[in-house]
Amino acid sequence: STSSVLSTEKDESTTSKDSTTEVASKSQEGRAETPKQKLLDIIGNMKVEVSYRKKLQQLKTREVKKQATDKLGGPDSEGSMLQKTTEDAQRGKPLNPELVEAASAVASSLPFNKKQAESELLAQLRRHEEITDKQKKGGTINIRNVISEMSVKTQSPAQRGVRISNRISLELDEDGQRIKPGRLSPQSFDSRRYFSFFFLVYRSLKVGRRLNIFTKASTETENALKTVSSPTIWDLEFAKEIAAITAQPPRNGFEEMIQWTKEGILWEFPIDNEAGMEDDAEFHEHIFLEKHLKDFPKQGPIRHFMELVICGLSKNPYLSVKQKIEHIEWFQKYFEEKKELLQEI
């Protein structure tokens, strides 16, 4: 029996909700007609799915639902409600007499304390009026400004990238051929509309003047730290996955040859005879190598030997200057190690 009582109460509360919403909406229409009509015209031109009325209704339903739950809770909220009623009494703004009558009727239909319910409903209505006044003046979210600054839809590069990525699918069929996405598939269409709306709003947000809602956080230092600490193992795995997916086997001989050229198996055509040889040294550095013989003794067989070595190196076109210098230095080291032996002789 208790459960049935509760269900009936809930039904009554829902009916009361509907009546309040209807009453409130009628009152709202009477007052905020002209600005709303202007908004609707603008919206109609832009074909954006933002509806002012729906938002208000949602707000109302939420608040009324909260109220209903509070009422069902009962004695805990009495004190807070009493405070609210006193606040309402202090407010000088008079409510519409029709609204007051409607509120009293609704309160009488509710099972709980009638006076309390009436006062609560009136408080709700006052709050709604405040919200509408604010929106008229332009204190809260001013949709009109945002919409007016929106321009004609042009394809942004990010949008184009999204479309291209939607077209190129990396999935493979059983046969091994790629699945081509259908052009007029419903999912892609909705996503396109969704994306277009998103990018419109994004562009308008960028274009318009600053609202100064958020403060710019210093993210530069964080970024610098992040580059040093990463890459983690997961990043490596992710990179490996990407490499494995993007490296598709070649579809024809040309792609195979391209792959080979990249790996270095195949030479680049037209053949460059000096490919791989990056000798920036002048000819005199190759030939006049006597300056490297400074540390050697100036007399004796070693000097004779080293001069022959230099003569041979200067005629060698295959070694780079660095390699020649290394050659001479090796001999230097070798003879320094054998100095004791040489002095015995």
Contact footprint for other proteins (CB under 8 A): 223, 226-227, 230-231, 235-236, 238-240, 242-244, 247, 249, 259, 263, 301-302, 304-305, 308-309, 327, 330-331, 334, 338, 341-342, 345
Minimum distance from residue 235 beta carbon to other proteins (Å): 5
Between 196 and 259, CB nearer to other proteins: 259
Give the number of other CB atoms < 10 A from CB of residue 162: 16
User: Which is closer to other proteins, CB of 154 or CB of 246?
Assistant: 246
Output phi, psi for 137, to 5 deg. Answer: -70, -30
CB of 206 or CB of 339, closer to other proteins: 339
Q: How far is the CB of 8 from other proteins (least distance, A)?
A: 58
Q: Which residue has the tokens 């077209």?
A: 167
DSSP 226: H
Of the pair 172, 308, the CB lying nearest other proteins is at 308
Helix or strand (DSSP H, E) at 245: helix 233-246
* Distance (Å, whole) CA 93 – CA 87: 12
Alpha carbons 124 and 102: distance in angstroms, whole number: 13
Nearest distance in Å: CB 216, other proteins: 17
In the complex, the smallest distance separating the C-beta of residue 295 from other proteins, rounded to whole angstroms, is 17
Residue 279 and residue 321 in contact, taking contact as beta carbons nearer than 8 Å: yes
Least Cβ distance, residue 155 to other proteins (angstroms): 24
Toward other proteins, which CB reaches closer, 97 or 176?
176
* Contact (Cβ atoms closer than 8 angstroms) between residue 114 and residue 140: no
Element (H, E) at 66: helix 52-73
